[in-house]
A and B are shown apart, each in its own frame.
Chain A
Amino acid sequence: MVRVVRVERSTGSIDRTRERGTMPWPLGIPAAVAVFFLLVPLVAMLVRAPWSGLTRILANSTVLDALRLSLLSASAATVASFVLGVPLAWMLARARWRGLSVLRALVTLPLVLPPVVGGVALLLAFGRNGVVGKAIYDWTGFALPFTTWGVVVAETFVAMPFLVVTVEGAFRAADQGFEEAAATLGASRMTIFRRVTLPLIGPSLVAGSVLCWARALGEFGATITFAGNNPDTQTMPIAVYLANESDTDAAIALSLVLLLVSVVVLVALRDRWLRQGPAL
């Protein structure tokens, strides 16, 4: 019998129609449970919402003040996290220093730290009597606690690790071949970072920023501990907490407002940015 091996191979790409969106059923069941688990509390809130008294509760000017402060401080915290966190993420992903893994664990510590503990730590560092804060206070008479700046600092402290972890992963996964290509085309390191590396991880930058913003918007523990509660520092979560002390209906109403605003912002961002995955 002659064993004949054909070596000529078909080189034309075979056009397979991909079955998109058809999910193997073993995945479908846990996915459905997950949806149920995540959505039922939200639905429950909608069901129990004091719809008739809603306008009365929301007409309260402190609610609008709290909402404005929440959006403003969460956005400021996101900008701060981006400006400081993206370079940090780059360093953690690319630098080859000894002890970097320890540093990585340390800077992402706020992820596991109870936020109230984070707030206490911030007080010990940046409070009027803090390690750093005392020098600033003695020099300028300014102390971060009980100010809007304090809110931004607390939110940044808690939310920045979310951005750093997301972006670091993207830097790590990014194909460094493109950076090499840019180098051979005469681009300086800074140009490569700006024109190649950053755009390549664009979707992760957006995802990390959104995550960071969402975390900052919901921040309660560190903020109440570090920045306290006064008209300059009362964000929505604090307003919700206090409302819950006396009037559960008001708490639900405020929570709905916070949810609605978050959903609008996140959906708008998703449509604009997140839908387009990484090109290529």
Chain B
Amino acid sequence: MSGAFVRTTTSPTVLRVDALVRRGEFDLDVGFDVQPGEVLGVLGPNGAGKSTLLRALAGLTPLTAGSIRLGDVVLDDTATDTFVPPADRPVGLVFQNYRLFPHLDVLDNVAFAPRSQGVPRAEARARATELLARFDLTELAARRPSQVSGGQAQRVALARALAATPLLLLLDEPLSALDARTRLDVRTQLRHHLADFPGPVLIVTHDPLEAMVLADRLLVIEEGRVVQSGPPGEVARRPATQYVARLVGLNLWRGRLGSDQRVVLADGGALVVAPADGLAAGDPVLVGLRPSAVTVSTERPEHGSARNVWPGRITGLELLADRVRVQVDGAPSTLVDITAAAVADLSLAAGQRIWLAAKATETDAYPDRPPASTGSAG
């Protein structure tokens, strides 16, 4: 069934990006490769430049400097003054809100690309009908976009993009327009469909779970720069920035390793950490700590086994699905996950002074180094 996507190419279509886009005060400056068949998840907060990156790849925003190459084809290169306009790029883009043409039915939406490429109407519709069948959308062919559900619209948008037989596929927040329940189903389907696509795929998202499930590799962008790149598991385990740490629910502190496994933290406080390979005294390190690995007590624990004990003040309590996240201001400031029962037993409230404790073995110290600007998982 993946035959629908096969397109004869002379070379594997590796995407090579070395892009600078300047827009007023903001600039996006990133470099990376994506292999054929690889799904790259681009993760970052709002305003990080993720959408700008997709627009540059699609040709909707020209590069200020640098180049974009897809296989042998130069899509944009400021050095040689090459710029392929969006209509001539073999790039499919699924927009955040899908942007299905409201005046065309589902079939004609999907047939739009072949029609634009000069395919006769009947043939274009036949090709669209095939794609609709593949995406389980046959019954919706005659409906207007306003008459289909969000999940269906997402599939129509993907089918419409693929109908142009692109060599590179870009998805901008493909699931953000969906409600939570639909998102789960559509995510599974999307993953299945993406597996069939032979070229490089970029998925922009700010949802870490989406990124973990759909992507083979993550590229974390903050303020227009790549701050971390690697397999999803690696990024989740050892985030390089507070933003990612927050997303995956980890405490993360920056500091410098001293003697006796003691890390003096940049924002105040110190922690004793578990020994780690390849770290020497004086190295800049990041220290990760799961919120559930921290214990709370109202008095200073006198006989605990934990090597790290520090005082703090509760600034907030947040009920998560099965636990309460306690925000504690201290040295260092920490997120702590405890059960709702524990909150009740200890009568915890905002403003209250408490003691925190964490075992050195629960901490994870790893080198703090800037990520390589290019390179792939392969």
**Do the two chains touch directly in the complex (Cβ atoms below 8 Å apart)?**
yes
User: Are A188's CB and B116's CB within 8 A?
Assistant: yes
Measured CB to CB, the residues of B under 8 A from A are 58-60, 85-89, 91-93, 95, 97, 99, 101-104, 112-113, 115-117, 144-146, 160-161, 163-164, 179-181, 316-321, 324, 343-344, 347-350
Asked whether A87 is an interface residue with its Cβ less than 8 Å from the other chain, the reply is: no
Cα–Cα distance between A181 and B145 once the two chains are bound (Å): 15
Given A184-B91, A187-B112, answer yes or no on A5-B318 (Cβ-Cβ < 8 Å). Answer: yes
User: Are B179's CB and A184's CB within 8 A?
Assistant: no
User: Are A5's CB and B117's CB within 8 A?
Assistant: no
Asked whether A202 is an interface residue with its Cβ less than 8 Å from the other chain, the reply is: yes
Per-residue CB contact flags for chain A residues 166-207 toward chain B (1 = under 8 Å, else 0) read 000000000101101111111111010001100110100000
User: A180: which of B86, B117, B180 is its contact (CB, 8 Å)?
Assistant: B86
Q: Which residues of B contact A184 (CB under 8 A)?
A: 58-60, 86-87, 89, 91-93, 161, 164
Q: Which residues of B contact A1 (CB under 8 A)?
A: 349
Given A2-B348, A178-B101, A280-B102, answer yes or no on A186-B87 (Cβ-Cβ < 8 Å). Answer: yes
Cα–Cα distance between A129 and B49 once the two chains are bound (Å): 62
A selection of 14 A-B contacts at a CB cut-off of 8 Å is A4-B319, A5-B317, A11-B179, A180-B95, A181-B93, A181-B99, A181-B101, A185-B113, A186-B87, A186-B88, A187-B112, A191-B116, A199-B103, A280-B146
List which A3-53 residues lie within 8 A (CB) of chain B. Answer: 3-8, 11-13
How many interface residues does chain A have, given as a range?
Answer: 20 to 34
User: Are A196's CB and B101's CB within 8 A?
Assistant: yes
Given A2-B349, A181-B99, A185-B161, answer yes or no on A280-B145 (Cβ-Cβ < 8 Å). Answer: yes
User: B60: which of A183, A279, A280 is its contact (CB, 8 Å)?
Assistant: A183
Q: What total of A-B pairs shows CB separation below 8 Å?
A: 105
Cα–Cα distance between A189 and B116 once the two chains are bound (Å): 10
Measured CB to CB, the residues of A under 8 A from B are 1-8, 11-13, 175, 177-178, 180-189, 191, 195-196, 199-200, 202, 278-280
User: Are B112's CB and A185's CB within 8 A?
Assistant: yes
User: Are B58's CB and A11's CB within 8 A?
Assistant: no
User: B103: which of A188, A191, A279 is its contact (CB, 8 Å)?
Assistant: A279
User: Are A183's CB and B91's CB within 8 A?
Assistant: no
Chain B residue at minimal CB-CB distance from A187 = B116
Cα–Cα distance between A185 and B180 once the two chains are bound (Å): 29
User: Are A11's CB and B95's CB within 8 A?
Assistant: no
Chain A residue at minimal CB-CB distance from B350 = A3
User: Are B343's CB and A2's CB within 8 A?
Assistant: yes
Closest CB-CB distance, A186 to chain B, in whole Å?
5
Closest CB-CB distance, A121 to chain B, in whole Å?
39
User: B179: which of A3, A12, A182, A202 is its contact (CB, 8 Å)?
Assistant: A12
**Given known contacts A3-B316, A182-B116, A195-B116, what 20 new A-B pairs fall within 8 Å (CB)?**
A2-B343, A3-B349, A3-B350, A4-B324, A5-B317, A7-B320, A177-B99, A178-B102, A182-B112, A184-B93, A185-B160, A185-B164, A187-B87, A187-B112, A187-B116, A189-B87, A191-B116, A199-B103, A202-B103, A279-B144
